[in-house]
Amino acid sequence: MHSYRLSVTAEKDLQDILEYTLEQFGESQMLQYNAKLISCLEAITEDSSFSHYKRFKRNGKFIRSLHCQKHYIFALEQEDAPLIIIALLHDKMDLITRLKSRLAR
């Protein structure tokens, strides 16, 4: 089992993504997209040379990002604790501005 938890805002992001997908594309597509997002959430936790996430430092905190389908997942690393998924953002959003607001909390 991979170790992460969703922040309240990331939970809302995921819920909004799945609701939109359901409304626009139907239940089958929503279930497929949900499975892909879960797979990406698990992948961002992996600490191996095969991991495809990017890692950067902001204000002394390490953040991981992973592009997944049409969304970016952002996770905050914590020492001796699970990653905190802080955002799931559509790739057409202003990622920098939205990420800054999530990190300010």
Express each pLDDT in 40-56 by its tens digit.
999 999 876 566 899 99
Q: What CA–CA distance (Å, rounded) separates 70 from 82?
A: 25
pLDDT of 1 higher than 50: no
Q: What CA–CA distance (Å, rounded) separates 5 from 41?
A: 10
Share the mean pLDDT of the chain: 90
- Give residue-wise pLDDT tens across range 60-89: 889 999 999 999 999 999 988 999 999 999
Q: Where are the alpha helices (DSSP H) in the chain?
A: 8-25, 27-43, 95-103
Q: What CA–CA distance (Å, rounded) separates 85 from 3?
A: 10
Global model pTM greater than 0.85: yes
The second-level CATH assignment, the architecture, of 4-103 is 2-Layer Sandwich (3.30)
Provide the residue ranges of all domains of the chain, joining segments of one domain with +: 4-103
Q: CB 72: neighbour CB atoms within 10 A?
A: 20
pLDDT of 31 higher than 90: yes
Provide the b/e sequence for 73-82 (b: ≥16 CB within 10 Å). Answer: bbbbbeeeee
The answer to whether the CB of 37 falls within 8 A of the CB of 88 is yes
